[in-house]
Amino acid sequence: MKAFRIPSRLMIVGAVAAVLPLTAAIAQTPPAPPADAPRQEQPQQGATFESLDTNSDGRISKDEAAANTAVTEQFSLYDKNGDGFIEKAEVSSANTSSGEQPSQ
């Protein structure tokens, strides 16, 4: 019985054709950042009082403020009465007493 022999060029072409889709997928995958690289925060824009007040009780707790890094960092600035919550009146007060003069 005679064995069927595939020409070596045909085997190479077949192997390359089989691997091409895999190389395209690898080329499109962005490299992973190094493990010791600092994590980059996405910009947090558009946070309104209502969007942070997730339980709609009219005030923002520290847990609710944690959704926005800027609010978390300035929580004590907004919490004028020190009760651990930011009320709408405190936000208005903090924004108007920022020391900025309106331009004329």
Q: Does residue 84 register a pLDDT over 70?
A: yes
What CATH number is attached to the domain comprising 71? 1.10.238.10
Q: What is the rounded distance in angstroms from the CA atom of residue 86 to the CA atom of residue 80? A: 8
| Tokens, residue 48 | 């309104």
Domain extent for 56: 49-96
Of 104 and 12, the one with more pLDDT: 12
User: Does residue 73 fall inside a structural domain?
Assistant: yes
User: Does residue 53 fall inside a structural domain?
Assistant: yes
* Per-residue pLDDT tens digits for 67-78: 888 888 889 988
Q: Based on the structure, what is the number of domains in the chain?
A: 1
Q: What is the rounded distance in angstroms from the CA atom of residue 66 to the CA atom of residue 60? A: 10
Q: Is 69 helix (H, G, I), strand (E, B) or coil?
A: helix
User: Does residue 103 fall inside a structural domain?
Assistant: no
Q: What is the rounded distance in angstroms from the CA atom of residue 66 to the CA atom of residue 57? A: 16
* Per-residue pLDDT tens digits for 23-46: 666 666 566 777 776 655 444 455
User: Does residue 85 fall inside a structural domain?
Assistant: yes
Task: Give the mean pLDDT of 94-99.
Answer: 66
